[in-house]
A and B are shown apart, each in its own frame.
Chain A
Amino acid sequence: MWQSLVGMILIMAFAVTAFAGDPTEVIRKTTDKIIAIVKNPALQGPEKKKERDRLIRDAADEIFDREEMSRRTLAQHWRKRTPEEKKEFMDLFEDLLEKTYIDRVEGYSGEKVLYEGERIEGNYALVKVEIMTKQDAKIPVLYRLKKTKSGWLVYDLSIEGVSLINNYRTQFNSIILDSSFKGLMKKLREKVGKQ
């Protein structure tokens, strides 16, 4: 009697957490969605690239927290910026990230994605994923997520221990110190092809 009651409570507790959208589930859903887009035979070929890119971008937009990413990338320079500058930076940085991301995803050729686990501390979470390449190598990927009003959103990912945001932060900081924030924006515009 007692056991069954405890069992029911446990099941309910698990069900609730599952519906709340676990960080791993958020990553898994989007990853599956993007793999489906890349593998979709109706979207193959260079003439379909635009449509494919749009779909991938839409799927990725759902889980990436662009403001958090921008804030963390500019770090100490973020506070000194006006709202307009912040917005322009966010748009350009998003374009750059999307370009990078799409280039990487396009190279997908049947790699397996293994979900190794997650850790949650308050409003922050880590999700560990391993990508098995066709050449028999394992690439560890770590997603960092933050709980927001619209659920868990990714603000950083590390591939083989190299954090994307940390890498851009170092680059942007060095460019800002060498020239200025304007110089950084000019370089960003050139990079994403918006003069």
Chain B
Amino acid sequence: MTSAMKRNFLSVGRIWFLVMFCLMFCPDAQALAYSKSNAIHQPAVWHLSDRIPGPPGLSPLPIVKEKDAGIELARISRCQIDKMRRHDLVVAMQMGEKLNFFPELSSGSQAAENAASGAKQDSLRSSGLENRIQVCAASFEDEKVVEEPEDWNEDNPSETIADPLEPVNRVFFAFNNKFYFWVLKPVAKGYRYVIPEPFRIGIRNMFTNIAMPIRAINCLLQGKVRGFGRELLRFVVNSTAGFLGFADVARIGMHVEAQDEDFGQTLGFFGVGPGIFINWPILGPSSIRDSVGMAGDYFVYPVNYLVPKTGENIAVRGEDRVNRTSLSIGDYEALIKSALDPYVAVRNAYFQYRRAEIEK
């Protein structure tokens, strides 16, 4: 173990300690955060009014249209949310407010206190608290149904990403475009020709499996404790029964999905904006926040410790990139083909994609 490695592990340990310390004092906040992350399985057609049961106990469950383990999971998690006592929710929300977890709630804090003392349903409903709990219960519910023209003001900073480096970014965009069509795509096509698809999917799964620490740690940093648990479970199951991650048995057999978190998303979760758009050569579209995120994730990506030599490391990363490209030939082309200004199209797609990932 080199001293640099030790230092890295130490700093990781310090973050863990900090996170665990925070979580000890705020156990219900993670349950809320968890329910938000879990909500992707929502079977839908819920009505806002039945989200929180009136008297403590179970509320009617959503109508399940299809028998599916993912939906079952959602149902079970739903039961757990329903079982949580209203008082716990209020305490958790107040704690979150004190820690400034939910800045948009600050105006509703008086109402939240009323709810805590009197536990009156009406005051709870009228406060932002209820909304927040609803949002936590289903990410699909986050989406605005009505979009009006006022929302699309291009001057609105939340709708676009600043791009003061546009001239440089465009140069790198042209370079990356050539790199894709002249290098990456031909190599990936040859690779696709040589290696059958099931093997390529297996290799992709192995790379996904070994990147577990990135997802697990960022789940923890965002308070998504169940997501963290799922990642650990997935890693144990897939590394053993799944032949070092080749087969994603945790997903197929147990319906435990990978959590898709990274440090850029963690920063976004805590309210860090993307800053400005940066189009890196080779690495592609990014932002200041996500570049910092990439640097952070570098330290917990096990491949960097297993294959520390620069040359070999690049070779392994190259294999990952070529393998993934071989499975998605055509996606980039479609985006470029349908665009009037491919650079702006990619920049906007990146911005929207990351925003959606952070909201998840």
Contact = CB atoms under 8 A, between A and B. Distances in A.
Contacts of A140: 40
B344 A174 contact: yes
Contacts of B339: 171
Given A173-B154, A175-B340, A162 B353 contact: yes
A166 B351 CA distance: 11
A35 B297 CA distance: 41
Interface string B242-256: 000000100100000
Contacts of B146: 121-122, 124
Contacts of B42: 116-117
Interface in A105-140: 107, 116-122, 124-126, 128, 135-136, 140
B30 to A, nearest CB: 24
Interface stretch (A4-12, A25-33, A51-59, A96-104): A96-104
B43 interface: yes
A172 to B, nearest CB: 7
Contact of A104 (B334, B353, B357): B334
Nearest to A184: B340
A87 interface: no
Interface in B287-332: 327-328, 330
B165 to A, nearest CB: 15
B197 interface: yes
Nearest to B143: A126
A162 B335 CA distance: 11
B99 interface: no
B153 interface: yes
Nearest to A123: B146
Q: How large is the interface on B (under 10, 10 to 19, 20 to 34, 35 or more residues)?
A: 35 or more
A99 B337 CA distance: 10
Contacts of B143: 119, 126, 142
Contacts of A104: 334
B140 A119 contact: yes
- Of A100, A116, A188, most B-chain CB atoms within 10 Å: A116
Nearest to A122: B146
A75 B349 contact: no
A78 to B, nearest CB: 8
Contacts of A100: 334, 337-338
Interface in B345-360: 345, 347-349, 352-353, 355-357, 359
Nearest to A125: B145
Contacts of A121: 145-146
A191 interface: yes
Contacts of A168: 340
- Of A71, A117, A168, most B-chain CB atoms within 10 Å: A117
Contacts of B359: 161
B152 interface: yes
A191 B40 CA distance: 37
B43 A116 contact: yes
Interface in A24-76: 71-72, 75-76
A168 B352 CA distance: 12
Contact of B353 (A107, A160, A188): A160
Given A162-B356, A167-B352, A103 B344 contact: no
A96 B49 CA distance: 42
B44 A128 contact: yes
B331 to A, nearest CB: 10
Contacts of B43: 116-117
B44 A136 contact: no
A118 B45 contact: yes
B50 to A, nearest CB: 14
A161 B348 contact: no
B152 A116 contact: no
B149 interface: yes
Contacts of B348: 162, 166-167, 170-171
A75 B152 contact: yes
Contacts of B353: 160-162
B27 to A, nearest CB: 30
Interface string A154-193: 0010101111001111111111000000001001100100
A28 to B, nearest CB: 12
B145 A117 contact: no
Closest CB pairs A-B (n = 9): A117-B44, A161-B356, A100-B338, A121-B145, A170-B348, A162-B352, A124-B146, A75-B152, A171-B344
Given A76-B149, A118-B44, A162-B348, 4 more contacts: A119-B141, A135-B197, A162-B352, A170-B160
26 contacts: A76-B149, A76-B152, A99-B338, A100-B334, A100-B338, A103-B337, A107-B334, A116-B140, A117-B140, A119-B141, A120-B145, A124-B146, A126-B140, A128-B44, A135-B197, A135-B327, A160-B356, A161-B352, A161-B356, A162-B356, A166-B352, A167-B345, A167-B348, A167-B349, A168-B340, A174-B341
Interface of B: 40, 42-45, 140-141, 143, 145-147, 149, 152-154, 159-160, 197, 201, 248, 251, 327-328, 330, 334, 337-341, 344-345, 347-349, 352-353, 355-357, 359
